[in-house]
Structures are given as structure tokens and as C-alpha cells.
Structure 1
């Protein structure tokens, strides 16, 4: 699979295995191909949209076993992140200190927050450039063991919907230090001692600390965009996706949703920090890019693909495409 990822460098890929425990697959990859993000991140079902001009870059360190999935991910460019977390796992996300201006399921995320994914794993967030996050997914077995150690009742954490837990600042700092330590350990030379240390950190130390930090949370109020505005943006995006071959206008979205231009503009600005018009263009451009990338080894005219997604003036299209992706349409192929 790695060989099919354009501009991807495999920095480390190792299988750590100890008697009696599930092996840990460790990999670190850097890439510039937005379309192959899904192939790079294991177990996640992702649909990311770039919302600003510039070449996309990303880097992911992953450590996966049967019971624990760990990731340290950095993405450049403003993104609309949708999709789902690994199925059958309890998944949380913690931002690095450098990560700012993140909205997750409508919540304004601070440095003291832990994001808990709903049972269906739904992901919906808007991130700025220099996005940096740690994600941890625990199996039911490991999760229950961590609760047992804390003598905490698992039902205290409702798993049916997305939620944000505002934690004690010192506890989150301790958790971040551990997450950073795990990343450093995973990138150390492969030895028996390091393999044992990785297993201990991932399957014991991390789950116990994570549950302790969550159960001791202050549970202070976390600001959230109103459900009405979030639903409006979701409806508008669905209309954009359903009419991408004959691009819908902002005016048509207003007519279909029954809101004013000002209301729609404000909702998009608040939820995604872009205008509806900019979102429509970004969506169409990335549909073109994805289709061109899928035809790298087969004959297809750039003009055919561009026309399919509503770009009719090829000179204007080429200029817009190059400005947004920092590459010509012919270079994508």
C-alpha cells in the first residue's frame, strides 16, 4: 500500500511482538498527496477538504495493536475534517499545545479539553493550518481495565454522542507529556527493551492516565455553536455534494434552506471560517484533483474532468487550480 502513496516517505515501519500479547505495528509517514490520506491513516474512514490555497502537507506517526490505536498527526492548511474514528473502539483526541482555533462538532476546543468521539465514531471538525493532534483508540477490554483501576463507573462517560471534557490544566499537561514520550519511544531504535516499553506505555500507562484525567475533569462549560447553525451548514454541504456536477449557487442554497444570504454566510463563517462560495469552489476543485489523480495511468483529458465538475473556461480553471494547489492540473496526473 505504501508504494502507491505519492510523495510519501516511510520513515519507520516495524512490527514489535512479545509473547502473549498482540504485536504493535509502528509506522511514520510524511506525504503531500491529499487524496491518499485515507490510505495512509489506518482504521479511520476519512473525508477531508482543504479550505485554503497552498500545498497540503502532513505527517503521521502510528502505533497499532489489537487493543490500542495511537496516532500523532500534523496537517498543514485549513481543513474541514469529516469521517469516522475506528469502529468498535473508544476514541479520544487531545490537541498539542501548538494547535489552536479548532472547532470539533461545533465545540470551540481549548488546550484543556479532551474530545470524546461518539459511539458511531462521527468526525466533524474545522482546523486551521499547523493542526497537531494525538488520537487514542482503546478496545472495550482495555477501556474496562482502565475503569476498574480507577474504580470508576464506565457509564459516567456517555458514549452515544460527541462530547468535550474540560479537564484540569495540570492533568492535561501530564497527559501530553506522556503522549510526547510515547512518540519518542516509538521512534527509538528497535530493541527488545524498547518493544517492552512501548507495550507498557500503550496498553497500561496511557489508558490508566487517560481515564483518570477524564474522570477527574472539572466538566466546566465548553462553548458550542448552536445546533440550528450546525444543521444549516450540514444541510448546505449536502446540497453542494448532491449538485457538484451542475454546481449550485449560494443563492440556490438560500432558497433551498429557507434562510437569508446573511444567515448562511454567518453560519459558514462561524462553523468553518470560510464563506459558502469559497467552500463550493474548494469542494469542486478537490473533486477534480481526486479524479485526475485516479487517472494517472489512463488516458483522460483535463478539460473533460474540469467540465464534468462545472469548470468551463479552461484558462480560468488552470489559473484557479494552480493557485489553490500550487501545481498545474497536468502535474496532478
Structure 2
């Protein structure tokens, strides 16, 4: 991991999802890789004394289970589809990024929110809903280029003026996005967000538990159709595929910390009843066999096959 420079603009290049999480302190986050390949990420951040600006890039699909900083108000711009997501300090959700994901975000801290009298409660119904505005793409591009300019400049910005400008811009964009929302669309997005919130809470509280599709819909408090619609909107994949990848990530965590188990035992614990299919699926996602994970972790496997 590398970092720079004297203007409080910092850049971190990362080689795994754990490093990506550590590069953004203050957020309660858990990342899991959800597409094949060696992970490569970048995080850039600017500290404006109460307002933080972030840019994040990741080359693989990643499941992000996260909570925003307590008392904060965050504006997150997804550059893959130019959507805005607004989060408050209680936002807790699951999001699965596309490959080669880019996002810029402005996070207004608790003191800034209180000092400016921002009525966060009035935004209820908008949190975690994809909001569209003609200004989204322009603003996110400007914010990314501003981070680049400040990281290369010897002149320190007027932090207070920049923070005020960011607030004004974000509220203007939010106002325009709200004007485009139909009431029935807002209701549907609220229901989908509630479903994903319940799924996220279960996933965070029971990381080692495996369930089937019907059990997951019961946890989510919706029908199978509602569950599938919510997953499509928020993750871009089916709930069945998500459950399978979650099991693979759980098996990997166990293999990375194991010393006295076999691949077959780990596969059975995570409900992979066919060892060959487990090994091939694992290799497709992580670019190595389960047996290679164990060997790399210092354990010599007595089993001849992955």
C-alpha cells in the first residue's frame, strides 16, 4: 500500500479487499470479492476538516456490506451508471459493484451536519435509492479531477470555501434528482431497500450460516419475486448466485485460517456436496484451487485433489 502527499489528499493502491476497507476508516465495512481475477484497487481521499471527499476504484466485482459513519450525511456518486446514493449514519446495506467500478463521494461529518442545521430526517425515503440527475456525471467528473489537481498542486485550497461549495452542489443535485422521482417508483425503491437492509443485517450477524433461497426470502420479509427484484436493483445478480458466492467466500475464510482440515471437510461445512464442482467454482473465482490456498497458508494437504 502506498500513500502521499502534504495537502491531505492521500492515495492508496490496494492488492486485496481487506486493504481497500482499511483505506477508508470510519465506515463499518465488509468486502468480499465476487468475480474472478487478482484484485486491484485505489482509494483517494481529501480531508477538509469535517468534510471528507473520497474516490474509490476496484477492478473486480465486490460485495460491500457497510454502514455509514454515525451522524454523517454522505453523497455517493456511482460513475458506472451516474447514479447518486444518499446515506445517513444509520444506512446499512448490501451493494455489489460491477467490474472496474468507480465511485466518488462527499461525506459531511456529524459536526458539519449539526453546524449547518441539516434536517437529515427530512430525507427519509431517499436513502440508498438510486437517484438520477443530469448533473451527476458532470459533478463526479469534476470531483475526480479536483482530487487530481489538488494532489499535484503546491497551493493549499481554501478548505472552508470548498466544503461550503460541495454542500451547495450536493443539495442542488439532490433537489434535481427528487424532482424526477415518481411517487410509486419511490415507494418501490423503499420496499426494495428494506428487503436488502434485512438481508444485510442477517449476513452481518450470521456470517457463517448457510440458507436456501426460500429461507432467505423469509429473512428478507418478502416474496421470492420481491427478493429477486431487490437483488437485481441493488446487486445486479440473482439471490441464488449471491448465496453461492457467499458460501465460496466463507469457505475461503476458513481455508485461510485452517491448519488441520481437508478441502473436503471445508466443502461439506459450506454445503458443497460435490468436491469437484466446489474446486472448479473456487478456482474460477479466486484463480487458485482450494488446496493451493491451504498450502499457501502453511498447511500441507494430505489430499491428492483440490
Note whether the superposition's TM-score is higher than 0.5: yes
Whether contact under 8 Å (2:32, 2:249) holds in the other structure is yes
SS at match of 2:163: helix
Distance of 1:288 and 1:84 partners within structure 2: 24
- Matching residue within 74, 92, 105 for 1:135: 105
Query: Gaps (5+ residues) in structure 2?
Result: 298-306
Which residue of structure 1 lines up, in the alignment, with residue 170 of structure 2? 210
- Matching residue within 106, 120, 144 for 1:180: 144
Whether contact under 8 Å (2:48, 2:163) holds in the other structure is no
Question: How far apart are residue 291 of structure 1 and its match?
Answer: 3.6
Which residue of structure 2 lines up, in the alignment, with residue 106 of structure 1? none
Pick closer, same or farther for the CA change 1:256–1:13 going to 2, 3 Å: closer
Whether contact under 8 Å (1:166, 1:219) holds in the other structure is no
Whether contact under 8 Å (1:265, 1:275) holds in the other structure is yes
Distance of 1:255 and 1:144 partners within structure 2: 38
Per-residue Cα deviation, 1:252-309 (whole angstroms, up to 9, x for no partner): 556888987666555544543323332111001112223444x3xx845453544443
Query: Gaps (5+ residues) in structure 1?
Result: 1-8, 17-23, 101-110, 148-152
Say what the alpha-carbon RMSD is for the aligned residues.
3.8
Which residue of structure 2 lines up, in the alignment, with residue 324 of structure 1? 285
Pick closer, same or farther for the CA change 1:292–1:90 going to 2, 3 Å: same
Whether contact under 8 Å (1:54, 1:324) holds in the other structure is yes
Question: How far apart are residue 71 of structure 1 and its match?
Answer: 0.7
Which residue of structure 1 lines up, in the alignment, with residue 41 of structure 2? 58
Distance of 1:115 and 1:256 partners within structure 2: 25
SS at match of 2:5: strand
Which structure 2 residues correspond to residues 172-321 of structure 1 after superposition, within 5 A? 172=136, 174-188=138-152, 191=154, 193=155, 196-197=156-157, 199=159, 202-215=162-175, 219-221=179-181, 223=185, 225=188, 227-228=190-191, 231-232=194-195, 247-250=210-213, 252-253=215-216, 265=228, 268-293=231-256, 295=257, 299-301=259-261, 303=263, 305-311=266-272, 313-321=274-282
- How high is the TM-score relative to the length of structure 2? 0.73
Which structure 2 residues correspond to residues 139-154 of structure 1 after superposition, within 5 A? 139-143=109-113, 154=118
Distance of 1:260 and 1:173 partners within structure 2: 35
- How high is the TM-score relative to the length of structure 1? 0.68
Count of residue pairs the alignment pairs up: 289
SS at match of 1:77: coil
Q: Is 1:90 aligned with 2:51?
A: no
